[in-house]
Structure 1
Amino acid sequence: MATDNWAAQTTADELATTDGIRMDGKVALVAGGGLSGPLGGVGFSIAWLCAAAGARVAVVDLDGEAGRRAVEAIREAGGEAEWFPADVTDSASVSEAVGKAVDRFGRLDIVADSIGGGGAVPAFDIDDDEFDRVMQLNFLSAWRLIKFAKPHLRPGGSIVTVSSGATEGRGPTMPYTIAKTALEKLTVSAASTFAPDSIRVNGVRVGMIWGAFAARGMTEEQRELRRQNVALQTEGNVWDIASAAFFLLSDRARWVSGQVLAVDGGGFAMKAGTGAAGSAPKKQG
C-alpha cells in the first residue's frame, strides 16, 4: 500500500473522532506520535485525536519520515502540528525536544508517552546491555519525558503513559514486563507527586490489540486464537487505546488521577465447559 494512503486507512476507524471533547488553545506533546505504517500506532492516534479536538500538537519521534507523515496528515485535516526529533533513551535529546516544542508553541498542557517495544525474551538469558536497552525504551524513556516536561506544564495539565497487559502476568520473566510494571508504578507515584500542582497523571494498560507491533510477528491463525482468548471475543486496535488515553488527557477526566486503566476487552477468557470450583458436575446421559 502506498504510504500516502496510510493516514486515510488508519483514520477511517469509527473511533477516530473526538465526540465533542475540545482542547482548544492547548498544546499536546506526544512521544512516539509518528505514523509509521498503514495500521497506525497508539501515539499517532493520540496525536490525531488531540489535533482534531483543537490542540496544537508536538509530534516527538526519532523516525523523521514517520514524524513528518503524521504532521502532514494532521495539517491536511486542518490541525496544527510540528515534528521534533528525539532519542528517548538520551536525556539531552529529550530535554532539547521538549524545549523546542515549548519555544515553538509557547506552552505545554498535555503529555502522552507511547514509546515501547522489544524485550520479549527471557530476562536471565540476556546480557547487561540488552536488559538496559529494554528498560531504557519502556520505562526510563517515560521518566525522562515526564521529568523534562513537568516544569513547563500548567495547572490543569495532564499526562498519560502507555503500559501493557503483560504486567498482570506471573511469568515468564521478561525485561519488557519488568519495565512496564515499573512504568505503572512511576505513573501512580507521579500522580501523587504532581497533585499539589493540579497536574493529573494516568496510564492505559494495553490488551491484545491488533496493530503494527502484533502484525510483525503473528500469523492469522495465531491472531484468531488470541481473539478467542479475549473475554469479549473481539479484537481491539490502536484507536481503542487512543480513545481511552484521549479521555484521560481531556478535561472530561478532570477528577481522575493516579489510575491505570486496562483496555483489554475484559482480559483473558475462561473457556466454556471448563467447570468451576464448587459447581455441580454435569449429569451424564
Structure 2
Amino acid sequence: MDGRTALVTGGGQNGRLPGVGYATAVVLAGHGARVAVLDRDPAAAQVTVERIEKAGGVAHAVVADVTDDAQCGRAVAEVVRRFGALDALMNNVAVGDRAGLFDVGPDRWDELLSVNLKSAWQVTRHAVPVLPAGAAIVNVSSVGVSARGPGMVYNVAKAGLENLTVGAAATLGGQGVRVNTVQVGAIWGAFAERNMSEEMREPRRRGIGLGTEGTSWDIAHAALFLLSDRARWISGHTLTVEGGPPRRFPPGPPITEVAR
C-alpha cells in the first residue's frame, strides 16, 4: 500500500476491544498507506490516528456522519485536499441489534437501512469521481446474511450491501476500479461485545469450523488483501472470513485405515 491513500469509515476506537475499522486503519498504515480515519466521534478518530502515528505511520482524522450525504461529500473532498488522492475505500460503518424483522418500527427500519446500506452508497458515490484506475473498494458485510433463521433488519441491509458490491463492480470495472465485500464471521470485537453477552461466546465458538473465535485483525488482513494489488484481478466477489464451515456433527473416531 506504499504511496496510496485509504479512507476507512467507522475507523475510530472508543471501546475496550478493537473494532474492524480501527484494526483495518492500523493494518493499512502498517503497510505504507496514508490513512484517513473517518468517524462521527472526533475523540474516537483521534485514538486511531495517534496509534498509527506512534508507530511511524501517516493518518488524518475526518469527522463526518456518513448518513448525511453532504457530509460524505465534504469528507471525500477533505481527504483529497489533505493527501492529494484517494486510492482505497473501506465502507465499514454499521449498527445493529437482535430485533426481528417485525419487532421494529418505521423509524428504526429507516435508521438501520441508512447506516448499514445507504451510507456505503453515499460515500462511494462521492468517491467515484476521484478514484483512479487501480483503486479498490471494500464493503463490510456479515455471514448472517446467508444464514437460515429469524430475519433481522440488519441482515436485510447487509444483503443489499452485497448486491451493491456486485452492481458497483460491474459499473466501475470500466474505470479500472475494483469492488469487493468482506463477510465477517463470528469474531469477538467491539461490535460483538456491544450486542452479545459473554455467556453466548462459548456455544458460538464451538460452532465455528476451526473451533476458535476470530478477531477484528483477521478481518483487517482480509481487507488489506482486497485493497492491494495482490487482488488486482478480483472484483465483484464476497470473501467470507468465518473460521471454516460451521460444525454440524460431533467429530467421529480417527480414521486408521482406508477401505479399498
- TM-score band by shorter chain is over 0.9
Q: Decide which of 17, 25, 28 is 1:47's aligned counterpart.
A: 25
- Two-structure CA RMSD over aligned residues (Å): 1.3
| Structure-2-length-normalised TM-score | 0.94
Q: Distance in 2 between matches of 1:138 and 1:47?
A: 19
Q: Distance in 1 between matches of 2:176 and 2:35?
A: 22
- Please state how far the C-alpha of 1:99 moved relative to its aligned partner: 0.7
Asked if 2 retains the 8 angstrom alpha-carbon contact of 1:207 and 1:267, the reply is: no
| Deviation readout 1:131-154 (Å, 9 max, x if unpaired) | 000000101111111111111101
Name 2:193's counterpart in structure 1. 215
- Mapped pair 1:182 → 2:157: no
SS in structure 1 of the partner of residue 218 of structure 2: helix
Q: Decide which of 148, 161, 166 is 2:139's aligned counterpart.
A: 161
Asked if 2 retains the 8 angstrom alpha-carbon contact of 1:119 and 1:134, the reply is: no
- Which AA in structure 2 matches 1:197? Q
- Please state how far the C-alpha of 1:273 moved relative to its aligned partner: 6.7
- Which AA in structure 2 matches 1:136? S
| Deviation readout 1:84-139 (Å, 9 max, x if unpaired) | 11111110111111111111111110001111121421121221111000000101
SS in structure 2 of the partner of residue 155 of structure 1: coil
Higher relative contact order (CA 8 A, sep 6+): 2
- Which AA in structure 1 matches 2:143? G
Name 1:148's counterpart in structure 2. 126
Q: Which runs of 5+ in 1 are unaligned?
A: 1-22, 275-285
Q: Distance in 2 between matches of 1:60 and 1:199?
A: 21
Q: Decide which of 75, 81, 104 is 2:82's aligned counterpart.
A: 104
Name 2:230's counterpart in structure 1. 252
Detail structure 1 runs of 4+ shifted over 4 Å in the superposition.
none
Q: Distance in 1 between matches of 2:210 and 2:97?
A: 28
Name 1:114's counterpart in structure 2. 92
Q: Decide which of 70, 87, 95 is 1:92's aligned counterpart.
A: 70
- Please state how far the C-alpha of 1:205 moved relative to its aligned partner: 0.4
Work out the percentage of aligned pairs sharing the same amino acid.
Answer: 49
| Deviation readout 1:43-68 (Å, 9 max, x if unpaired) | 11111111111111111100111101
Name 1:58's counterpart in structure 2. 36
Q: Which shifted more, 127-136 or 29-38?
A: 29-38
Name 1:82's counterpart in structure 2. 60
- Which AA in structure 1 matches 2:96? G
Asked if 1 retains the 8 angstrom alpha-carbon contact of 2:97 and 2:195, the reply is: no
| Structure-1-length-normalised TM-score | 0.86
- Which AA in structure 2 matches 1:260? T
